[in-house]
Amino acid sequence: MLRRSTPAAWLGAFALLTPAPLVDRSTTAAADGARVVAETSVASRTVDLTIDSPAMDGTQKVRLLLPSSWSKDARRTWPTLWLLHGGVDDYTAWTRDTDVARLTARSGVMVVMPNGGRCGNYSNWWNYGRGGSPQWETFHMTELRTILESDYHAGRDRVVAGNSMGGLGAMLYAARFPGVFRAAAAFSGYVDTLHGHEPGDDSTGWGPSFACPGTDWRRVWGDPDDQAAIWRAHNPTDLAARLRGVRLWVASGNGRAGSLGGMPFTDPVEAAADDNAHAFVDRLRDLGVPVTARFFDGQHDWPYWQRDLHEAYPMLTDALGIG
């Protein structure tokens, strides 16, 4: 779930969307009470939303890459590509470390990049049975979706992709919300959250604790034995049958440095993600669910995720009918 920084690959030079750096959107509200309180133009086609979210008990950020033809006064909608970031990262990740702005410039797709927390796991946290904040799933799939479709001309044709923790999120959202996403892609994703778990093994939930010191990982889904049903309900491998009809793409490296470089030793984070990916793909194939799998020499880093996005992009746009 970890990210290592690399030089930003963000490119793009198009007309600015709005002349003002900040626009009050305090009247924009979702049916459940979430509302946009600020809009900030940060780069060509790039707008950051600040959303007052009841699900998150505070404000959260979302970055949008808007189609060049987008207009607030339009009477049409645009298909959306949701790009989810990995652990120990935020909503700026994909524009900071890839050329997604250039890649999507001519496609007519709206790219949605929400904050997902350093170790949010794209889930409503169990919090020892108390529930409450953080509720990342509700923020994204109810509050943000409503706002985008009611005020930003987002259409009902959607695909989702993500790296590392975001790969988990992509497959989770596609499985937990049938019919919402036409395609899902996971790059180095932890898509079998119970992979290798043995009863009584407390190491299964090490991710949030390691990535976010001081965070009790049991707040997320509970104990993998005592709250096994919650873990299974958030494990893409357990939910694999629900992905039938969704176009699927899974990519991971084996941890060894590949053609795009890397450390001179096996990357344990990517090696673990690779084990997850193989288990997930095997489960899909056992169920007869079609999936495109890409396994290669590579590590847990942005040069590989940018390549993954480029390779998966034709499938994603084809699923949207704009390929």
**What pLDDT digit, counting tens, does each position of 32-69 carry?**
799 999 999 999 999 999 999 999 999 999 999 999 99
Top CATH class, 28-195+204-319 = alpha beta
Q: Is 64 helix (H, G, I), strand (E, B) or coil?
A: strand
- DSSP characters for 1-60? ----------------S-SSS-B--TTEE-TTS-EEEEEEEEETTEEEEEEEETTTTEEE
Q: Tokens 């003002």 belong to which residue?
A: 20
Q: Where do the structural domains in the chain lie, given as residue ranges? A: 28-195+204-319
Least confident of 17-26, 58-67, 306-315: 17-26
Query: Can you read off the two tokens belonging to residue 224?
Result: 């993998």
Beta bridge partners of 248: 184
- pLDDT, tens digit, for every residue of 237-296? 999 999 999 999 999 999 999 999 999 999 999 999 999 999 999 999 999 999 999 999
pLDDT, residue 112, reads 99
Q: What is the CA radius of gyration of the chain?
A: 19
Task: Evaluate whether 262 touches 218 at the Cβ level (below 8 Å).
Answer: no
Per-residue pLDDT band at 206 (split at 50, 70, 90): low
Report d(CA 249, CA 280) in Å as an integer.
11
Q: Rounded to two decimals, what is the model's pTM? A: 0.90
CA distances from 154 to 32, 103, 312 (A): 18, 19, 22
Q: How many CB atoms lie within 10 A of CB 312?
A: 24
DSSP code for 74: -
How close are the terminal C-alpha atoms of the chain, in Å?
Answer: 31
Question: Side chain identity at 173, as an amino acid letter?
Answer: Y
3-state secondary structure 218-240: HHHHCCCCCCHHHHHHCCCCCCH
- pLDDT, tens digit, for every residue of 115-131? 999 999 999 999 999 99
Q: What is the b/e burial string over 150-160, where b = at least 16 CB atoms within 10 angstroms of the residue's CB? A: ebbbbeebbbb
Report d(CA 126, CA 7) in Å as an integer.
36
CA distances from 131 to 35, 124, 138, 173, 227 (A): 22, 8, 12, 19, 14
What does DSSP say about strands 78-84 and 292-296: parallel, antiparallel, or unpaired? unpaired
Report d(CA 202, CA 283) in Å as an integer.
24
Per-residue pLDDT band at 203 (split at 50, 70, 90): confident
